[in-house]
Chains A and B, each alone.
Chain A
Amino acid sequence: MTAEPAGSPQQPNAGKQPDVDEGTTRIAERLDPRILARLKGLRVRAHRIVEGYVAGLHRSPFRGFSIEFAEHREYVPGDDLRYVDWKVYGRTDKYYVKQYEDETNLVCYLLLDVSESMRYQGPGAPLSKFEYAQCLAAALGYLVVMQRDAVGLATFDNQLRQWLRPAGNPAHHQQLMSIMESTRPVAKTAMDQTLHAIAERLTKRSLVYIFSDCLDDPDALLRGLKHFRHRRHEVTLLQILDPYELEFPFRGTTLFRGLEQFPDLVADPSSLRAAYLEELQHFLRVVRSGTVELGMAYRLLRTDQPFDRALTTILHH
Chain B
Amino acid sequence: MVWPFASGSLLWWGLAAAIPVALHLWNRRRYQEHSWAAMAFLLAAMRKNARRLRLEQLLLLLLRVAILLLLATALAEPVLRGPTEPGTGAQPSGGTQHLIVLDASYSMAARRGDRTLFEWAQQEAIQLVRDARAGDGFLLMLMSDPPRSLIGRGTFDTSAVVDEIVRAAVIDGGADWGSSLAEMERLLRDAREQMPTLTRQRITLYTDLGKTTWRDVGRDDLRARLEQLDRHAELHLRQLAPDRNDNRAITRMELRDAQRTVGDTATIEVEARNFGANASGELAIELWIDGEPRGRQALELPAGSAGTVTFQARLDVAGEHALRVVIPDDVLATDNQRWLSLPIRESLRLLCVEGTPNEARLLRWALEPLRGDGGRARVDRAGPEMLLEADLRGYDGLFLCNVSQFTKEEGQALARYLRHGGGIVIFAGDQAQPSNYNRVLAEAGDDRVSPVRFGTAESLTEPGLDPGDYSHPLTIAFRGQERSGLLTTPVWRFMPLELVDPQTGRVALRTVNGGVIAADEQIGDGHCLVFGTAVSTSSIDRTTDPATPWTALPTWPSFVPLVQESLALIVRPDGRSRNWEVGAALYGMLGSPDEQEIYFRGPIDDDGAWPGGERLRVELERDRWTWRRQGVDRRGLYRVEGGTDRAWWQWHAVNIDAVESDLAALAYDELPESLRRGGPSDLDTKSGGEPRPGRPLFQALLLAVASLMLVESHLAAHWGSRGRTQR
Contact = CB atoms under 8 A, between A and B. Distances in A.
Chain B interface residue count: which class? 20 to 34
B46 A274 contact: no
Interface string A57-76: 00000000000000000000
Chain A interface residue count: which class? 35 or more
Nearest to A247: B727
A248 B723 contact: yes
A267 B34 contact: no
A259 B41 CA distance: 13
B34 A259 contact: no
Given A265-B39, A265-B46, A272-B46, A257 B31 contact: no
Contacts of B44: 275, 279
Contacts of A275: 44-46, 48-49
A256 B39 CA distance: 8
A187 to B, nearest CB: 13
B481 interface: no
Contact of A267 (B37, B38, B40, B46): B46
Nearest to A248: B723
Given A120-B35, A275-B48, A275-B49, A256 B727 contact: no
A253 B27 contact: yes
Nearest to A275: B45
Given A259-B39, A265-B39, A271-B723, A254 B45 contact: no
Interface string B1-41: 00000000000000000000000000110111111111111
Contact of A255 (B31, B38, B720, B722): B31
A256 B34 contact: yes
Contacts of A263: 39, 43
A117 interface: yes
B32 A258 contact: no
Interface of B is mostly: helix
A162 to B, nearest CB: 22
Interface string A118-138: 111000000001000000000
A220 interface: no
Interface in B669-727: 719-720, 722-724, 726-727
A277 B726 CA distance: 8
Contact of A215 (B27, B34, B38, B56): B38
B35 A257 contact: yes
Contact of B36 (A253, A257, A279): A257
A271 B56 contact: yes
Contact of A254 (B34, B38, B46, B723): B34
A241 B36 CA distance: 12
A276 B45 contact: yes
B298 interface: no
A9 B602 CA distance: 89
B38 A245 contact: yes
B714 to A, nearest CB: 16
Contact of B722 (A117, A215, A273): A273
A272 B54 CA distance: 11
Interface in A132-146: none
Given A253-B30, A277-B723, A268 B53 contact: yes
Contacts of A268: 53, 57
Given A255-B31, A271-B723, A274-B723, A245 B37 contact: yes
Contacts, number: 121
Contacts of A163: none
Which has the most chain A C-beta neighbours within 10 Å: B28, B37, B40, B46?
B37
A302 to B, nearest CB: 14
A5 interface: no
Contacts of B39: 256, 258-260, 262-263, 265
A278 interface: yes
B720 A259 contact: no
A283 B38 CA distance: 11
Interface in B39-93: 39-46, 48-49, 53, 56-57
A277 B46 CA distance: 12
Contacts of B45: 272, 275-276, 278-279
A119 to B, nearest CB: 8
Contacts of B722: 271, 273-274
Contacts of B36: 120, 256-259, 262
A142 B724 CA distance: 41
Contact of A265 (B27, B42, B49): B42
Contacts of A274: 722-723, 726-727
A250 B295 CA distance: 91
A272 B723 contact: yes
A265 B57 CA distance: 17
Contact of A271 (B30, B40, B41, B719): B719
A1 interface: no
Nearest to B44: A279
B723 A255 contact: no
Nearest to A258: B39
Contacts of B27: 253
Given A248-B723, A277-B726, A272 B42 contact: yes
B40 A254 contact: no
Given A259-B36, A275-B48, A280 B727 contact: no
A289 B184 CA distance: 94
A267 B722 CA distance: 16
Interface in A65-97: none
A280 to B, nearest CB: 5
A273 B719 CA distance: 10
A252 B720 contact: no
A250 B723 CA distance: 11
B448 to A, nearest CB: 91
A150 B358 CA distance: 154
Contact of A266 (B31, B40, B53, B723): B31
A215 B40 contact: yes
Nearest to A261: B39
Nearest to B35: A257
Nearest to B721: A270
A213 interface: yes
Nearest to B27: A253
B719 A254 contact: no
Which has the most chain A C-beta neighbours within 10 Å: B42, B43, B46, B48?
B42
Which has the most chain A C-beta neighbours within 10 Å: B38, B48, B720, B726?
B38
Contacts of B49: 271-272, 275
Interface string B351-363: 0000000000000
28 contacts: A120-B35, A213-B37, A215-B38, A215-B40, A247-B727, A252-B31, A253-B30, A254-B33, A255-B31, A255-B32, A258-B43, A259-B36, A260-B37, A262-B36, A263-B43, A267-B46, A270-B720, A270-B723, A273-B723, A274-B722, A275-B46, A275-B49, A276-B42, A276-B45, A277-B723, A277-B726, A278-B726, A279-B44
Interface of A: 116-120, 129, 213, 215, 241-242, 245, 247-248, 250, 252-260, 262-263, 265-280, 283
The 10 closest A-B pairs by CB, nearest first: A273-B723, A275-B45, A262-B39, A120-B37, A117-B37, A279-B41, A258-B39, A253-B31, A256-B36, A274-B723
Given A265-B42, A272-B42, A272-B46, 12 more contacts: A252-B31, A253-B31, A253-B32, A265-B39, A265-B43, A271-B53, A271-B719, A273-B723, A275-B49, A276-B42, A277-B726, A279-B42
Interface of B: 27-28, 30-46, 48-49, 53, 56-57, 719-720, 722-724, 726-727
